[in-house]
Amino acid sequence: MRPTVHDIAAAAGVSLATVDRVLNQRPGVRHITREKVENAIRQLGYIRDVAAANLAKGRTYPLVFILPASDNSFMHGLNAEIRQAILRSPVERTDIRTIEVPAFDPSALVSVLEGLSRERPCGIAMVATDAPDVRAAVDRLVRERFPIVTLVSDLTGSLRHHYAGVDNIAAGRTAARLLGRFLGPRKGEIAVLAGSMLVRDHRERLEGFTAVLAEEFPDLAILPVLEGRDDPEVAHRLVTDALSRNAGIVGVYSLGAGNRGLIRALKAKAVDRTLTVIAHELTAHTRAALLDNTIDAILNQDAGHEVRSAIRVLKAKADGLAVIEAQERIRLDIFLKDNLP
Amino acid sequence: MRPTVHDIAAAAGVSLATVDRVLNQRPGVRHITREKVENAIRQLGYIRDVAAANLAKGRTYPLVFILPASDNSFMHGLNAEIRQAILRSPVERTDIRTIEVPAFDPSALVSVLEGLSRERPCGIAMVATDAPDVRAAVDRLVRERFPIVTLVSDLTGSLRHHYAGVDNIAAGRTAARLLGRFLGPRKGEIAVLAGSMLVRDHRERLEGFTAVLAEEFPDLAILPVLEGRDDPEVAHRLVTDALSRNAGIVGVYSLGAGNRGLIRALKAKAVDRTLTVIAHELTAHTRAALLDNTIDAILNQDAGHEVRSAIRVLKAKADGLAVIEAQERIRLDIFLKDNLP
DNA sequence: GATTTTTTGATTTACGTACATCAAATTTGG
DNA sequence: CCAAATTTGATGTACGTAAATCAAAAAATC
């Protein structure tokens, strides 16, 4: 049977109250007594029953999700997953609130973070915008002992406890290899459609992509990046233009959102030629395009996994518990038309 | 605040004891009283606090994992993950026991299943061997209200509650498309190395593989399947022979275990030619082979996810709770050298 | 050595549920 | 209508932990 606080008290030769003081780091325990208790805890292998503790404390986990106010399928999906998580709140003892901030606006994000310092949630998940001020604000909160995880977009170099998202450099590299291998011996140019080079994840994907293409597929040249602002209309125009102007395009890598426009452009322009296309994010549109061979592969991150993982990690950090690293690794999904979920 | 049994009792105008009798389906409640209580439960949206209930009951979840006694990397990995889960037992209130049965031996599996009917674990996870007797035994246990999930290898047509494993037909189809696309315009023959055609997952992978190859890559012909019995030595011999005898081989699909032998054969025999190779299961060997370009892609199922998912599902079923379907879907991982974990 | 301060013990209540017991009320059968 | 059976209520204890109170003991200070 698992040891309880009573067993610890008995083993350490102290009272229950003292064990409680040690366990919950309350004051008024002499150093040597504290050590006696800690030894007993270690020797008996005591593990606090978190469920019982939460019951006694009436604990809930107030969590805050900070999201950019972006109007694209991925963010909509992320929001939907957070709503699902809110529905599970009673069971998981969470109390989740989302805050929308203007996209690509570091100062807005910083002021929200500063506001949270007063609200004192027990955990913060945020889609990071990569800027020094944001990093500083995050570090400040971490030093104030707030658990913080970045979601989808990381803030490297900051003190955030965890990143719930995919490795975007690896994603870009994978896209390049798939494209290169699918094209085989063919030579030509590659069009890259991004949202904005101001976003870290897009920059990283491009970085990985160009690196592998340069190293291993020297016959494929990357055209200047098209910045579609994750907007289907803009994407449509840019891709249509590029295809018209450049007959040597053999492949397309769409590393951001706004794929609806890309797909429309491809269907109109590329009926005759055989383009190889890799896109990010599985949505109703990209799924259909994959099935009708307009797109050859989709790279995806599962927003549901990211949200659930962020919640698990924040709760664990709030309780000072360990996380199962392998479980919390967000994988890059590669979908061909055969393995769609 | 979440409603409690007290709120239900007050709302239904009955005593706590009666609410308890209804909740735990104890006898001695008139039909109309039971309905009053059930209405109150529905109206207040009462959800039993599983943590508190488990605390009160001193509940643990005795689970049994039934595994084939196969000596290959994947099964070793699966075992290791189960051991990890056992380490988490105190926290998760599980009590996990594994039973090894001879591989490919339906009757051994059936007798183990029958034995469990007396032991009464609160859930069973099993790597199924596909046979009518096994199906019958599983169905019998399900009718006796045992939660059962199949692990890695499914038992379609049975009443098992859940399958924690990948869609092997999809895996085979994916392998075929990757191979076909990687080979591009090249024509030639494809060698397929399987463990045994007696195993359902191998049969299904082959089925998916041949289907896509036939439909979409008619220039690629499949050679007679090599049955390596998941044994590196046998695999080595078979692949070496095949490569010697057949100069037209342009690709290899290894859908089972024993990849160590395959890799050795490839390195010895295929230095001169450019084979495209797709293999299953990420192990130290296949990982190294992927990195040194001996293998082009690895399809993988994450044993850790499968084990954790099986445990979550069994616990939920034992408590009569819903599972998050999307969370429990085991994905087919596709690894290129760029997105290795 | 007396006094103050700090540390420790003993005890109680609470969290939400399970489960057991016994008494009281209600229904059913004869 | 009475007895027997069934249904319901009231109450208490338990699970493992948190948190509070007050008394007692020990240590530190003068």
Condensed to tens digits (0 to 9), the pLDDT of residues A42-92 reads 999 999 999 999 999 999 999 999 999 988 888 999 999 999 999 999 999
State whether the beta carbon of A93 lies below 7 angstroms from any atom of strand C.
no
Mean pLDDT of B228-237: 90
Mean pLDDT of B3-32: 91
Question: Are A96 and A129 in contact, with CB atoms under 8 Å apart?
Answer: no
Per-residue CA distances from B106 to B129, B150, B198 (Å): 6, 14, 11
What average pLDDT does the structure give for chain A? 93
Chain B CA closest to residue A1: B90
Distance A123 CA to C17 C1' (A): 29
CATH of B168-300, one of 3.40.50.2300, 3.30.70.141, 3.90.1150.10, 3.40.50.2000: 3.40.50.2300
Q: What 8-state DSSP symbol labels residue B297?
A: E
Per-residue model confidence as pLDDT tens digits over A80-102: 999 999 999 999 999 999 999 99
Per-residue CA distances from A331 to A21, A77, B168, B241, B334 (Å): 42, 17, 19, 38, 10
Q: Which nucleotides of D are covered by protein (CB under 7 A)?
A: 6-12, 14-21
**Through-space distance between the first and last CA atoms of chain B, rounded to whole angstroms:** 42
Per-residue model confidence as pLDDT tens digits over B120-139: 899 999 999 989 999 999 99
Chain B CA closest to residue A208: B338
Residue B296, min C-alpha distance to chain A (Å): 10
Query: Which residue has 């490297």 as its token pair?
Result: A156
Per-residue model confidence as pLDDT tens digits over A12-43: 999 899 999 999 999 888 888 899 999 999 99
Asked if pLDDT for residue B151 goes beyond 90, the answer is yes
- Per the structure block, which two tokens stand in for A305? 């996994």
Q: What 8-state DSSP symbol labels residue B158?
A: S
Binned at pLDDT 50, 70 and 90, residue B311 comes out as: very high
Asked if pLDDT for residue B313 goes beyond 90, the answer is yes
For an interface test with A, the pick among B5, B57, B173, B338 (most A C-beta atoms closer than 10 Å) comes out as B338
d(CA A178, CA B217): 18
- CATH code at B5-48: 1.10.260.40
CATH of A58-165+303-330, one of 3.40.50.1820, 3.90.1150.110, 3.40.50.300, 3.40.50.2300: 3.40.50.2300
- Per the structure block, which two tokens stand in for A289? 């395009």
User: According to the model, what pLDDT value does residue B200 have?
Assistant: 87
Any idea which nucleotide's C1' is nearest the CA of B58?
D15
Query: Which residue has 């907007």 as its token pair?
Result: A231
User: According to the model, what pLDDT value does residue B274 have?
Assistant: 83
Count of A–B CB contacts within 8 Å? 92
**Residue A74, helix vs strand vs coil:** helix
- Per the structure block, which two tokens stand in for A226? 């098209």
What average pLDDT does the structure give for chain B? 93
Q: Which of residues 25-84 of B touch strand C (CB under 7 A)?
A: 46-49, 52-53, 55-57
Determine the Cα angle at A317 with ends A314 and A323, to 5°: 90
Instruction: Name A292's Cβ contacts closer than 8 Å, sequence gap at least 6.
Output: none
Per-residue model confidence as pLDDT tens digits over A219-263: 999 999 999 888 889 999 999 999 999 989 999 999 988 899 999
Residue B82, min C-alpha distance to chain A (Å): 14
Per-residue model confidence as pLDDT tens digits over A276-301: 999 999 999 999 999 999 999 999 99
Mean pLDDT of A201-215: 96
Chain A CA closest to residue B95: A1
Considering CB atoms only, which of A2, A177, A331 is closest to B333?
A331
User: According to the model, what pLDDT value does residue A71 have?
Assistant: 81
User: According to the model, what pLDDT value does residue A270 have?
Assistant: 65
d(CA A7, CA A16): 9
Q: What 8-state DSSP symbol labels residue B64?
A: E
Q: What residue type is assigned to position A115 of the chain?
A: G
User: According to the model, what pLDDT value does residue A2 have?
Assistant: 87
Per-residue CA distances from B296 to B141, B182, B228, B253 (Å): 43, 9, 20, 10
Considering CB atoms only, which of B90, B171, B184 is closest to A47?
B90
Q: Which nucleotides of C are covered by protein (CB under 7 A)?
A: 6-12, 14-21
Tell me whether residues A177 and B52 touch, CB distance under 8 A.
no
User: According to the model, what pLDDT value does residue B104 have?
Assistant: 81
Q: Which of A320, A315, A327 is nearest to A48 (CA)?
A: A320
d(CA B15, CA B6): 8
Question: Are A223 and A242 in contact, with CB atoms under 8 Å apart?
Answer: yes
Distance A17 CA to D20 C1' (A): 11
d(CA B304, CA B302): 5
Domain range annotation of chain A: 5-48, 58-165+303-330, 168-300
CB atoms within 10 A of CB B257: 30
User: According to the model, what pLDDT value does residue B71 have?
Assistant: 81
Mean pLDDT of B146-175: 97
Mean pLDDT of B16-44: 91
State whether the beta carbon of A14 lies below 7 angstroms from any atom of strand C.
yes
Q: What residue type is assigned to position A8 of the chain?
A: I
Q: Note the CATH architecture for domain B57-165+303-330.
A: 3-Layer(aba) Sandwich (3.40)
State whether the beta carbon of B17 lies below 7 angstroms from any atom of strand C.
yes
Distance B20 CA to C13 C1' (A): 23
Confirm whether A5-48 and A168-300 share one CATH topology. Answer: no
- Give the rounded percent of residues in chain A with a pLDDT score beyond 90: 84
Residue A36, min C-alpha distance to chain B (Å): 24
Considering CB atoms only, which of A167, A174, A304 is closest to B326?
A304
Q: What 8-state DSSP symbol labels residue A77?
A: H
Per-residue model confidence as pLDDT tens digits over B187-210: 999 999 998 887 888 999 999 999
Considering CB atoms only, which of B296, B305, B338 is closest to A174?
B338
Q: What interhelical angle do A168-183 and B168-183 show, nearest 10?
A: 60
